[in-house]
Amino acid sequence: MKRSRSIKQIEKKPDLVWDVLIVGGGATGLGAGVDAASRGYSTLLLEQHDFAKGTSSRSTKLVHGGVRYLAQGDISLVLEALEERGLLRQNAPHLFKNLKFIIPSYDWWGGPFYAVGMKVYDMMSGKLDLGKSEYLSSDETMEAIPNLIKEDLKGGVVYHDGQFDDARLAVNLAQTINENGGFVCNYFRVTGLMKDAEGMVIGVKAQDMETDKMYKIRAKTVINATGVFVDEVLRMDKSSHRDTIVPSQGVHIVLDKSFLKGDYAIMIPKTSDGRVLFAVPWHGKVIVGTTDTPVKNPVLEPIAQDEEIDFILKTAADYLSKSPKRSDVLSVFAGLRPLAAPEKGKTETKEISRGHKISVSLSGLITVSGGKWTTYRKMGQDAIDKAILLGGLEKKPCVTHQMPIHGYVKNISRKGHLYVYGSDLPKILGLFEENQEWKDQIHPNLPYLKAEVIWAIRNEMARTVEDVLARRMRALFLDARTSVEMAETVAELMAKEMHQKYSWTKKQIKDYTKVAQAYILY
């Protein structure tokens, strides 16, 4: 997967009319790209920054039906998500983990109430279930999570859901598009739409963000998959367009694993603000979150507010015997949910459905909004079904239900941290033969190796130090301070591999350090 190859393809045939052109390289766009390319349509996906730079690298990392949506009575959404959970487990086992969650109960009615609810959740999973839920006594609950607060604990309910690595899945989906004959390009921003005399969309104007060169690219169908930015693209179509998205900010903090001993995650079904809160073990640390705060203007790098951080710390302290403090936070990250504008009578963002919506403008522009990572495949399928109708494309069936995603390995061993590369792992180890030094760990606090930097540049379209440290490795999210200390080594390795000058290295370190400041608590 080479960026230069994608650009060559765009430049080689300026008159080429792509079957499907996708704007946005997050979960939604990548899902649509995999669907389109694997059905055999000529496919191009353009991402203004890096793949998953937006919301898709900032999730809670759960592949879930959504226990909360069950409580809200959104049965069809839960059923759809549970089926997709099962399909992701089958198609990307290298990135999917079957995780046990405990709902701790501190009152007499909570345990039986959630035990019944989780039986319904089990039943809805059908043959794609991950394991049965069960009720635990208080002693059994303490055994599973030794550092829960014991006082007044009545018991707990265990249930299963999936966990994944969001940004790594995004990279693997981009590779899957590539392997199915499609083209993807990061740092390529769509700046306008091209229209014919009748006002129908016939392509996009786009800018290579590395060279500033402008392009006109023609396509039979254009899919707007820009998450919280869909309204910006809709305004390229019609300047008077009014917002259809209500961005809602969710914040997570990352703590040392000693705050949540054992392999279980905790799910708090109703915090003081009525939300669900998770504490989830991930890559040797613990992620705790999230909040649900409406925001006015979408940005690529949202900032966690002090109130959100304090709320998470306080709620975690209500359940964990070791209360986390600001100084314990290794990283804090914020993401924006692209929620469809609220239905009548629903004023709070946590009440807005997480279902997806596909709309078609009078100009033929297809916009996919809402949804969640878990249902990315189905969203892609629905978007391409629409594109077939609108673009007059030859009808071909969706093939992604049973299609392995790049990196697929049937029986994955989770020893060490390199398992996320799945079938690519032997090739990464093979890099040691080229240069023994690449075996070295970059920093003693995190397990990442120099070889991973080289791999990310050569095969995963990493262009900047941030791409490597935030989304190929997950250092920024796991331990932001340490990641800053890694930046110099990563920049030097990249500069050598990419034949960049010293000034490039210096600028990369400076830019990365600036971005990482928002992930560090002082």
Among 7, 46, 177, 222, binds ligand FAD (CB under 6 A): 46
CB of 364 to ligand FAD, least distance (A): 18
The 171-210 site mask, x for binding ligand FAD (CB under 6 A), equals ------------------xx--------------------
Please report whether residue 293 would count as binding ligand FAD according to CB under 6 A.
Answer: no
CB of 341 to ligand FAD, least distance (A): 15
CB of 420 to ligand FAD, least distance (A): 17
CB of 496 to ligand FAD, least distance (A): 28
Pairing label, strands 293-294, 331-340: unpaired
Please report whether residue 60 would count as binding ligand FAD according to CB under 6 A.
Answer: yes
**Which regions of 210-305 does DSSP assign to beta strands (E)?**
214-224, 245-256, 265-268, 277-282, 285-289, 293-294
How many Å apart are CA 499 and CA 70, to the nearest integer? Answer: 53
| Shorter beta-carbon distance to ligand FAD: residue 386 or 450 | 386
**Crossing angle for the helix pair 75-91 and 376-391, to the nearest 10 degrees:** 100
| Nearest one of 477, 471, 473, 468 to 509, comparing CA atoms | 468
The 329-368 site mask, x for binding ligand FAD (CB under 6 A), equals ------xxxx------------------------------
How many Å apart are CA 8 and CA 183, to the nearest integer? Answer: 10
| Shorter beta-carbon distance to ligand FAD: residue 165 or 452 | 165
User: Hey, is 286 helix, strand or coil?
Assistant: strand
**Residues within window 219-278 making contact with ligand FAD, judged by CB under 6 A:** 225-229, 233, 250
| Nearest one of 4, 37, 6 to 20, comparing CA atoms | 37
User: Hey, is 466 helix, strand or coil?
Assistant: helix
Task: Report which DSSP code applies to 467.
Answer: I
The 370-409 site mask, x for binding ligand FAD (CB under 6 A), equals -xxxx-----------------------------------
Number of residues that bind ligand FAD (CB under 6 A): 40
Please report whether residue 28 would count as binding ligand FAD according to CB under 6 A.
Answer: yes
Please report whether residue 281 would count as binding ligand FAD according to CB under 6 A.
Answer: no
- 341-346 long-range CB contacts below 8 Å, 24 or more apart? 341/243, 341/244, 341/245, 341/246, 342/246
The H or E element that residue 331 is part of is: strand 331-340
Among the candidate windows 23-31, 343-351, 359-367, 446-454, which touches ligand FAD by CB under 6 A? 23-31
Please report whether residue 162 would count as binding ligand FAD according to CB under 6 A.
Answer: no
Half-sphere exposure of 338 (CA within 13 A, CB side): 29
Which residues here bind ligand FAD, judged by CB under 6 A? 23-29, 46-49, 52-56, 58-62, 189-190, 225-229, 233, 250, 290, 300, 335-338, 371-374
